Amino acid sequence: MKTCRLYLIRHAPVKKKEGYVPENNPKAIINSDHLKKLASYIPDNSICYVSPLKRAIQTANELSKYKNFREIIIEKNLREQNFGEWQGKKISLVWEEIRKFKTQHNFSFLCPENCPPKGESFLDQCERVSEFVEHLNFNDHTSLIFISHSGTIRAFLSYFLNLDPNNAIGIEISHLSITSIEVLKKDNIRNKGGKYRLLSVNNQFI
């Protein structure tokens, strides 16, 4: 079978301020040894799609020292969920606002439908990620790499596996982990099971 393999990588970690929601666009903490090791698990000469946020771009640039990318493409739809007015705010104050929502989630900060003030919901994020995926051409590639965020990767999984966002939002995605999907190329999609196959989730090599 002819397939295209997708490598979904979460960016390097960021410095957090204890007790506060992270800022919108913090820098990554780059450990060259960790990125060099991670690079050994991804293929050469692939197109690499990267979120426009600093932490993802820094991760991609460091990986490019150890792995040859055919092209690096900055893609706005790969950015993390926008938490709006909550970004940089005390978590204790944010919880007071979250308690006002009618629904709560066992494993996530928010339910998929809940939207922070002047931000976006996970459902919004899933919609833009789905739109991006639907315009990708898998037939001309044997592999594609995506460097983005935990929420973005969960949105990918919701789309690829037809998962309810309420289930997808609870999947653990660690920094510098690889989640891998196999995509059947057009001529091989003949039978049941769809064209996407999950190979690994949250694979950590560091």
Q: With a cut of 80, say whether residue 60 has pLDDT above it.
A: yes
* 190 — pLDDT class (breaks 50, 70, 90): confident
Write down the pLDDT at residue 149: 98
Write down the pLDDT at residue 201: 98
Q: With a cut of 80, say whether residue 1 has pLDDT above it.
A: no
Mean pLDDT value across residues 179-198: 87
Residue 117: which of 94, 142, 148, 149 has the closest Cα? 94
Q: With a cut of 90, say whether residue 17 has pLDDT above it.
A: no
* 193 — pLDDT class (breaks 50, 70, 90): confident
Write down the pLDDT at residue 107: 94
Q: With a cut of 90, say whether residue 159 has pLDDT above it.
A: yes
- Could you give the percent of the chain with pLDDT greater than 90? 87
The domain 3-203 is placed in CATH, from the list 3.40.50.1240, 3.30.70.360, 3.30.470.20, 3.20.20.80, at 3.40.50.1240
Cα-trace Rg, the chain: 17
* 16 — pLDDT class (breaks 50, 70, 90): confident
Question: CA 22 to CA 88: how far, in whole Å?
Answer: 5
Neighbour tally for 169: CB within 10 Å: 26
Supply the mean pLDDT for the chain.
Answer: 95
